[in-house]
Amino acid sequence: MNPARRITLIWLLLMLATLLSWQLGHGAAPGTQRGGASIAILLIALVKARFVFLEFMELRGAPWPLRLAFEAWAVLVGVALIALYWSGLTHYASGQ
């Protein structure tokens, strides 16, 4: 695939992911359970970060140890954020 076309396609996917996460965050009625939407938004953000790092920061062609370090970082941060969310510690930090 043409590199310019690939970047344009990835940019379009990033924009659609942004709209989807915005809709998930603002689409729920007040007082409803938002746990599933919150986890989905976190996962979308991590996928977007992966696209940005691999495509726009050119980690796709980076040496294998650097790319492996990034992939491990993305997984660890994702697991940590989801675990913190489900543990309820985020509620204490926000004062709820």
Higher pLDDT, 65 or 32: 65
pLDDT digits (tens, 9 = 90+) for 31-62: 556 678 888 999 999 999 999 999 999 898 99
Burial class from Cβ neighbours inside 10 Å (0-12, 13-18, 19+) for residue 27 reads exposed
Q: Which two structure tokens, joined as six digits, stand for 7?
A: 């970047």
Indicate whether 24 pLDDT > 70.
Answer: yes
pLDDT, position 32:
59
For residue 91, what pLDDT band results from cuts at 50, 70 and 90? low
Tell me the whole-structure pTM to 2 decimals. Answer: 0.78
**Per-domain boundaries in the chain:** 3-94
Alpha-carbon distance 7 to 65, whole Å?
24
pLDDT greater than 80 at residue 28: no
